[in-house]
Amino acid sequence: MATRADWEQKALSEVAAGGLARLAIPALARSLGVTKGSFYWHFQNLRQLVGSALRRWEEMDRDALDEVHEIADPRRRLIALFRDAMHKRQAHALYVALSAADAAEVRSSLRRINRRRLRFLIEAYRELGFPPKKARDRATLAYAAYVGALHLRYQNSGALRRNDDLDGFVAHSVETLIP
Amino acid sequence: MATRADWEQKALSEVAAGGLARLAIPALARSLGVTKGSFYWHFQNLRQLVGSALRRWEEMDRDALDEVHEIADPRRRLIALFRDAMHKRQAHALYVALSAADAAEVRSSLRRINRRRLRFLIEAYRELGFPPKKARDRATLAYAAYVGALHLRYQNSGALRRNDDLDGFVAHSVETLIP
DNA sequence: ACCTGAACACCGTTCAAGT
DNA sequence: ACCTGAACACCGTTCAAGT
C-alpha cells in the first residue's frame, strides 16, 4: 500500500535525479511495491502527480526563503541567498530540471516561486535604500544572475560545475550586485 | 522523399515551439509526407536526430556571435549581446527548451555553446582592461545574468515576459555589469 | 538509394473485478 | 478504501519487402 505522499516524494527524487523525462509510472510503482494500476486510484494522471509533488516542493522552497529572511541585515541576507545557490544541490537541481517543462502545473509553480524570490530581492534592495524602480531593476538583474548560475552549475553543461573558484565568483558577484 | 536536412529543420522548429518533450517521429513524418519507418533510413534513432539538428543550431549560434564580435568597441559589443538576448525569441527559445535535456548529445552542444559565449565575454572584459581573474569572474556573472534572463523571458513562467520596461532593465544591467 | 508496412516492446490510461 | 490485471492507444525501433 502506497500513500499519495509516497508517490509524491518518489516523484520528486526521481525528477531531481534524472529530470522530468525519466519520470515513469511503472518505475515508481515498482519501487513502491505496487502495480502501476494502483497509481490511478491516487491520481488522475501523471500531470496531477507532478502538480501535487510540486506543491510540496514550493513549501520547501518557501521555508528556505523564510529562513534566510530572518537575517536582519539586507546585505548579509542577499549574500546568504547567493551562497546557498551554489551549495544546495538537491533543492536547486529540481528547479533546473523543471524549468523547461511545458505542463501547465509546472509552469504555475515556477511562476509562483519566481515571483516570491523576486519580491524577496526587491524588498532587500529597498531596505538598502534603492528607490522603487531601481530596486526592481537591480533585483531582476540579481535574480537573473541567480537563475543563470543555478543552470550553469546544476545542468551538467555549464561553466560553474567545478568547486574551485566558486567562493571567488560568489564574492565578486556580491561585490558587483550589492553596493 | 525527405532529406536529412528536412528532418533536422522540422525537428528544430518543433523543439523551439513545444520543447523537447513534444518532439515525436510520427508527427515529423506526417508533416514531411512520409511514414515514420523512413526516419530510420536517415537516422539511427531519435537521439541522433536531435544531435544532428543541434549541430545546425550551434552553427547558427556561432554565426550570431561572430556578427556581434565584429563590433570593435568592447562596451558596445557587450551591450549588443544583452540587447539581442531580449529580442531574438526564436533563437533563444531553443536554448531554453534544450537546457533541461538529459541526452548526452544535447549536453555536449550546450557545453560548447556556453564555453564559446563565456570566452567571448572574457575577451571583451579583458579588452576593457580587467585583469585575468577579474575578467573571468565578471564574465561568468554576466553570462549567468544572460542565461537567467533568457530563462525568465522565454520560459513562460518568468519575470521578464512583458515588453514594458525591458529597455530600462537592459540599461540598468549594462550599467551595473559594464564599467 | 529511399521508403512502406507490419511487428514488437514499452508507457499512459481505463476499468471491471478483487480484498 | 485501495489494489490487481487485463486491455487499448500511442510512440520508438526493427526489418523484410518494395521501387
Q: How many helices (H) and strands (E) does chain A have?
A: 9, 0
Q: Please choose, from the candidates A9, A11, A6, the residue with its C-alpha nearest in 3D space to the C-alpha of residue A27.
A: A11
Contacts with A91 (C-beta within 8 Å, 6 or more apart), sequence order:
A60, A61, A64
pLDDT above 90 for A16? no
For residue A154, give Cα distances in angstroms to A59, B116, B179.
21, 19, 29
Residues 158-177 of B with CB under 8 A from A: 158-160, 165, 168-169, 172-173, 176-177
The tens digit of pLDDT for each residue in A133-155 reads 999 999 999 999 999 999 999 88
How would you class B28 by CB atoms within 10 Å of its CB: exposed for 0-12, middle for 13-18, buried for 19 or more? buried
Q: Distance (Å) from CA A151 to C1' C9?
A: 35
pLDDT mean for each 10 residues of chain B (179 residues): 93 88 94 96 94 92 95 95 90 87 83 95 97 97 97 87 89 95
Residue numbers in A near B173 (CB within 8 A):
137, 141, 144
CA-to-CA distance for B101 and B92, rounded, in angstroms? 15
For residue A53, give Cα distances in angstroms to A38, A57, A83, B132.
17, 6, 26, 45
**Interface test mutation site (partner A, options B147, B154, B165, B178, max chain A beta carbons within 10 A):** B147
pLDDT above 80 for A103? no
How would you class B174 by CB atoms within 10 Å of its CB: exposed for 0-12, middle for 13-18, buried for 19 or more? middle
Closest nucleotide (C1' vs CA) to A42 is D2
CA-to-CA distance for A39 and A120, rounded, in angstroms? 38
What residue of B is the nearest CA neighbor of A142?
A: B145
Provide mean pLDDT across the span A12-26: 89
Q: Give the domains, in start order, of chain B with CATH numbers.
A: 54-177 (1.10.357)
Residues 61-120 of B with CB under 8 A from A: 96-102, 106-111, 114-115, 118
Rg (CA), chain B: 18
CA-to-CA distance for B145 and A141, rounded, in angstroms? 7
Chain pair A-B, CB pairs under 8 angstroms? 160
**How would you write B164-178 as a 3-class SS string?**
CCHHHHHHHHHHHHC
What residue of B is the nearest CA neighbor of A82?
A: B141
The tens digit of pLDDT for each residue in A113-129 reads 999 999 999 999 999 99
pTM exceeds cut of 0.75: yes
- pLDDT at position A151 is 95
Residues A127 and A178 sit within 8 Å (Cβ to Cβ): no
- The torsion angles phi and psi of B88, rounded to 5 degrees, stand at -110, 70
Residues A114 and B149 sit within 8 Å (Cβ to Cβ): no
CA-to-CA distance for A89 and B131, rounded, in angstroms? 31
CA-to-CA distance for A119 and B163, rounded, in angstroms? 19
